[in-house]
Amino acid sequence: MTPLFDPALKEQLSTAASFLWLNPAYRSKMDKTRQPLSIDDIKSADLRLHRFAPLLQKLFPELQQSHGLIESELQAIPNMQHAVFPELPGKLMIKADHALPVAGSIKARGGIYEVLCHCESLALKHSILSSTEDNYLKLIDTDAREIFSRYKIAVSSTGNLGLSIGIISSALGFNATVHMSAEAKDWKKKRLRERGVSVIEHSDDYSAAVTAGRQQSEADPLSYFIDDENSSQLFTGYAVAALRLKEQLKAQQVAVDAEHPLFVYLPCGVGGAPGGITFGLKQIFGPYVHCFFAEPVQAPCVLIGLQADSEETLLSVYDVGLTVTTEADGLAVSKASAWVCSVIKNILSGVFTVEDNSLFRHLYQLYLHENITLEPSAAAGFSGPEHIIQSETGRRYLEQENLLGHLDKATHLIWTTGGLFVPPEEMKKSQHYGQQLIENNN
């Protein structure tokens, strides 16, 4: 008989109200010997991205300035902090993945990385590259593209992963197929079709689209499926963000140590992106970084997934009476990645759930005070600081980790995960909705 998780927690979840859950399995000291990946794996992923940088710079003119690296800014948001979080001790910052070039969301990290891994291995196999020291610009020669065009890359997505995989795959000459789940926004599908990517629309949820996409791809030996539920390459690509953030914090003289805790708030879908980043950050900053995931009240799949002790006992949001419905399409996932849950089990501090209305309010406030534009999913982290600093549960965490005396020197980093490509009229609608909620005190 499988031990069903805590009935009180199940009851709490089923009310679909926002709350903070602390992970009882969290250990401030990470047992590095029990981890499936190491800091060296993350560093070698970063090296691979550097090998491809000259090629990416050629393919995507927007990468001119960064010399082919896809990276976002670390920035303080003093106006937002002053206006919306006046009582928050410490410093409020964002990691601006909403503006990541090429894919317009955090998926540029994992998705593009995995396609580059596949591309590199095919190029070596077909002797387009003689070794990893070779000139990667050879990969845009006509004969290389001709070879890549025989291969397919497939993925299932609620929107953004499909955008990232579709854009990079078609730029390299691969045949790309994206299986979109029901919540995918029309503009995301349109943008892909314009680039020659074939988009298959599913009327089912994300987990069903992954199963369908995986099955179809496995039937074709020339097709490679990017498996968001089981991919250590996606995860490693996301983890590289931690190395980059470390440098950015240093450059901006933001200390992270026993006296200067770093709280990181990450919007979470299937778990790969926030999980990979958490994994990387814990490798670098150990007990001094505290990572919390943000999930929609109707789709807290990782919170639920972390209650399971194996893939067989992992429940979906439907199993606790929730619906997965949310305007945060990037987070609309019914079942977590079991693999990611097992890797983050002891390193994630907790999860808070977020109502859709909060997303729109924060999205509007960030626009109003900082002129920054996000898609709804990307605003989920903004509810974090309040949960940690003001709720009873949050205070319990601060007490237990001995952080109460260091809050004035803390940094609260909100990961803003998507938005660059949202069409202006769509963006205006979201902002207007948030403005109305605030004016009507909702």
Residues forming contacts to ligand PLP in the complex (CB under 6 A) are 105-107, 160, 267-274, 330-331, 375, 377-378, 417-418
Residue 160: partners with Cβ closer than 8 Å, 6 or more residues away: 103, 104, 105, 106, 107, 188, 329, 330, 418
Sheet holding 223-226, edge to edge: 198-201, 175-180, 152-157, 223-226
Nearest residue to ligand PLP on Cβ basis: 269
AA identity, residue 418: G
Nearest approach, Cβ of residue 73 and ligand PLP (Å): 17
Task: Residue 184: name the closest of 239, 72, 272, 105 by CA.
Answer: 105
Residue 437 exposed, middle or buried by CB count within 10 Å (0-12, 13-18, 19+): middle
Q: DSSP label at 221?
A: T
Please identify, using beta-carbon distances, which residue of 177 and 417 lies nearer to ligand PLP: 417
Q: Which is nearer to ligand PLP, 225 or 288 (CB)?
A: 225
Q: How many residues does the chain have?
A: 442
As measured in angstroms, the least distance from the Cβ of 107 to ligand PLP is 5
DSSP letter at 15 equals T
Query: Measured from the CB of residue 57, what is the shortest distance to ligand PLP in angstroms?
Result: 24
Query: In angstroms, rounded to a whole number, what is the distance separating the alpha carbons of residues 110 and 168?
Result: 12
Least gap, CB of 148 to ligand PLP (angstroms): 26
The answer to whether the CB of 406 falls within 8 A of the CB of 259 is yes
Q: Cβ closer to ligand PLP: 101 or 330?
A: 330
**CB-wise, 41 or 229, nearer to ligand PLP?**
229
Rank residues 144 and 306 by Cβ distance to ligand PLP and give the closer one: 306
Nearer to ligand PLP, 213 or 269 (CB): 269
Q: If residue 439 lies in a helix (H) or strand (E), which one and from where to where?
A: helix 424-439
The least CB distance from residue 106 to ligand PLP, in Å, is 5
Q: Cβ closer to ligand PLP: 206 or 364? A: 206
Amino acid of residue 209? A
User: Closest separation between CB of residue 387 and ligand PLP, Å?
Assistant: 18
- Least distance CB 280 / ligand PLP (angstroms): 14
Helix (H, G, I), strand (E, B) or coil at 155: strand
